[in-house]
Amino acid sequence: MTRPIKLQNSGTSGNFRRLVPSVGFPFDVPRRLRAFVRARETSLVLLAVVIGALGGLVVAAMSALVDLLHMVLFGLGPGERLSAQAHLDPSVAILVPMLGGLGLGLAGILIAHRRPAREVDPIEANALHGGRMSLRGSLIVAAQTVWSSGVGASVGLEAGYTQLASGIASFIGQRFRLRRGDLRVLVGCGAAGGIAGAFGAPLAGAFYAFELVIGSYSVASLAAVAIAALVGLLVSQQFTSTPLNIFSADIIAISGHDLTLAAALGLLGALLGIAIMRGVGACESLFLKWDVPLAFRPALGGLVVGLCACITPQVMSSGHGALHLAGIIDRPLGELAMVLLLKAVASIVSLGSGFRGGLFFASLLLGAIGGHLFASGISTAWPGLVLDPRAYAIIGMGALSASIIGAPLTMTFIALETTRDLQLTAAVLIAVVIAVLVTREMFGYSFATWRFHLRGETIRSAADIGWMRDLTVARMMRRDVKTVAADITIAAFRAAFPLGSETRVVAVEPDGRYAGIVIVPEAHAPELAPETPVRAILHNTRDVLLPTMTIKAAVETFDEAEAEALAVVDSKVTRRVVGILTEAHALRRYSQESELRRRELFGET
């Protein structure tokens, strides 16, 4: 399919070089090759193959680095998992994460001096920045994630996988100067390749990209994302075995009561997920309340993780070694309950204190343990009800992860691809739907969007709303505004602005400050005495727009003022008139941009 090459693209054309983050690489794609890629949909698929392969390499490289750190710092042998250890030397379990956290905190202070701006993750990049990410910043985040997991902090690597893979995808897309919609898809391809390689699940990787990074599913993006996920899996498997050790060799029988209990487990998973997400925010607030310096917060978090690891090493790092279905089923219930509690505490404190990483894999482990405890509790209460703990471990895994991550289809496909059990997947689907529904109703956020909320952002998903921020009043207003002194008489105004010459005129004070708006037909009303001052008929004397307002804020201001047009002033202090904007024009521009994004979404551009 050949697509027309657009010379103009709102939000990226003209100022493209200014908007592209500085990554320190002089590389640029020749113009003819850029035009070839931009003109053909299949070219985006070819780029997706490259991005998927790089995503698989990212997974292999980061996993190998973490394993190396575990071998050096904790004395593990090749192939051993930190969270699978039965016992750790208490001094090592405490000192390594504590000193590692101190090093991370000090490094973070140094990085902040050189890069004061906060790094953008794939979800935020696609929601607000049209897919633009910094490659250098992504490398820093990935390195921090590797170090955090390597020193034993209870965080997952999946956030680092998607950050770096998507950052590479964004860098390549920017070098090709892709359209905003295509760049967002390519960022999703990076995330799909990383997740598919990490979990050995290409369907889950693809739908992770659709649900969390791109924010929507479309036929136009299906081929690129699916191929990136598949290639990411194939490349990753050449270097590492699939790390997700949940596999049921036998088909698990699912009956009617299992589906009902799956719904109940979904409800409990949502409640636990909300508690964990709020716990991370509360931990951050506690550090702020205690006024703990930023450099020392990870060290304190590492101390808490180390103390928990002295009781059970299963709380350390991502938990890959601890998440093994047979190991979970065979362990005493009291021990599992302790692991559940300590792992939740360790994950909350690790992320709340400043360690880099995600909650994806931790939620899988916690959900699996919680599902097994749920089944055991029900079986104890109703001895005649025989429940398979393997099934409920997997159902609980999906329910809690869906609540925290906010991706129900992703978790459903992880269950399907790791167990190959379609009946069990149906029960998982019920649980994840209930979990996501309850979480959205009671909490309203996933873990990623909850972190944005704590920073003051209003992002609820990766759906592209960045164009609304780019569409400002300054871009929409008319600058050739007609002004008149507010102290002149109606007679003078009628002489200067005959009926039909203008619709409205902005009145200003003697010092140039905004005074109000004069409706020209109203000034020519016969009942008005000629000696009446114009000031007597001014409208919207306090209602103004600012050039930096977004289209959303502008429309809200029009609604509050009940006005068809408002003056634009330079600031609320000086109130110098710089333009005028009508509500009709603002809504028309909004509709045009909305239609452009809709066409990009369905591949019609």
Give per-residue pLDDT as tens, 287-305: 999 999 999 999 999 999 9
Closest alpha carbon to 84 in 307, 248, 318: 318
Closest alpha carbon to 595 in 467, 484, 460: 467
Side chain identity, residue 508: V
SS3 324: strand
Count of H helices and E strands in the chain? Answer: 25, 5
Residue 601 has pLDDT above 70, yes or no: no
Q: What is the pLDDT of residues 263-280, one digit of tens each?
A: 999 999 999 999 999 999
The larger pLDDT score, comparing residue 281 to residue 79, is at 281
Q: Could you give the CA distance from residue 76 to residue 560 in angstroms, rounded to a whole number? A: 64
Q: Name the phi and psi angles at 569, rounded to 5.
A: -115, 160
Question: In which band, very low, low, confident or very high, does the pLDDT at 218 lie, cut at 50, 70 and 90?
Answer: confident
Q: Pairing relation of β-strands 514-519 and 565-569?
A: unpaired
CB atoms within 10 A of CB 122: 30
Q: How many CA atoms lie within 13 A of 249 on its CB side?
A: 2
pLDDT, average across residues 159-188 = 94
Contact 371, 396 (CB under 8 A): yes
Closest alpha carbon to 100 in 37, 34, 153, 160: 153
Q: Could you give the CA distance from residue 408 to residue 446 in angstroms, rounded to a whole number? A: 11
Question: In which band, very low, low, confident or very high, does the pLDDT at 244 lie, cut at 50, 70 and 90?
Answer: low
CB atoms within 10 A of CB 538: 16
The tokens describing 99, both together, are: 């000193």
Q: Could you give the CA distance from residue 419 to residue 398 in angstroms, rounded to a whole number? A: 12
pLDDT, average across residues 499-521 = 94
Domain boundaries, the chain: 16-244, 471-598
The sign of the torsion formed by the CA atoms of 324, 330, 332, 337 equals positive
Residue 9 has pLDDT above 50, yes or no: no
What local confidence, expressed as pLDDT, does residue 8 receive?
37
Write a three-state SS string for 458-470: CCCCCCCCHHHHH
What local confidence, expressed as pLDDT, does residue 325 receive?
57
Q: Name the phi and psi angles at 575, rounded to 5.
A: 55, 40
- Would you tell me which CATH number, out of the four given (3.40.50.150, 3.10.580.10, 3.20.20.70, 3.40.50.10140), belongs to the domain 471-598? 3.10.580.10
Q: Could you give the CA distance from residue 394 to residue 248 in angstroms, rounded to a whole number? A: 10
SS3 357: coil
The string of DSSP letters for 444-456 reads ---HHHHHHHHTT
Report the mean per-residue pLDDT for the chain. 89
Q: Which of 136-145, 217-226, 501-510, 576-585 has the lowest mean pLDDT?
A: 217-226
What local confidence, expressed as pLDDT, does residue 418 receive?
85
Q: Could you give the CA distance from residue 127 to residue 83 in angstroms, rounded to a whole number? A: 35
Question: In which band, very low, low, confident or very high, does the pLDDT at 16 lie, cut at 50, 70 and 90?
Answer: very low
Task: Give the CA distances from residue 18 to residues 36, 77, 473, in Å, rounded to whole numbers and listed in that order.
Answer: 23, 49, 20
Q: Could you give the CA distance from residue 344 to residue 560 in angstroms, rounded to a whole number? A: 46
Residues constituting the chain: 605
- CB burial string 87-101: b at 16+ within 10 A, e below: ebeeebbbbbbbbbb
In Å, the largest CA–CA distance within the chain is: 96
Q: Could you give the CA distance from residue 488 to residue 592 in angstroms, rounded to a whole number? A: 40
Q: Could you give the CA distance from residue 465 to residue 442 in angstroms, rounded to a whole number? A: 24
The string of DSSP letters for 11-56 reads TTSSSHHHHSPP-S------HHHHHHHHHBHHHHHHHHHHHHHHHH
Sheet strands side by side (includes 504-508): 483-485, 504-508, 514-519
Q: What is the pLDDT of residues 426-437, one digit of tens each?
A: 999 999 999 999
DSSP at 387: -
Closest alpha carbon to 411 in 534, 552, 269, 574: 269
Q: Which of 20-29, 123-132, 496-505 has the lowest mean pLDDT?
A: 20-29
SS3 239: coil
The tokens describing 258, both together, are: 């299992």
What's the predicted TM-score (pTM) here? Answer: 0.83
Find tokens 């691809």 and name the residue.
417
Q: Could you give the CA distance from residue 399 to residue 393 in angstroms, rounded to a whole number? A: 10
What local confidence, expressed as pLDDT, does residue 35 receive?
82
Q: Could you give the CA distance from residue 206 to residue 410 in angstroms, rounded to a whole number? A: 8
SS3 483: strand
Strand pairing partners for 452?
none
Residue 21 has pLDDT above 50, yes or no: no
What local confidence, expressed as pLDDT, does residue 179 receive?
87
SS3 489: strand
- CB burial string 237-263: b at 16+ within 10 A, e below: eeebebbbbbebeeebebeeebbebbb
Q: What is the pLDDT of residues 465-504, one digit of tens each?
A: 667 777 899 999 999 999 999 999 999 999 999 999 999 9
CB atoms within 10 A of CB 546: 17
Q: Could you give the CA distance from residue 457 to residue 449 in angstroms, rounded to a whole number? A: 9
Q: Could you give the CA distance from residue 134 to residue 140 in angstroms, rounded to a whole number? A: 10
Q: Which CATH superfamily is domain 16-244 in?
A: Clc chloride channel (1.10.3080.10)
Residue 329 has pLDDT above 90, yes or no: no
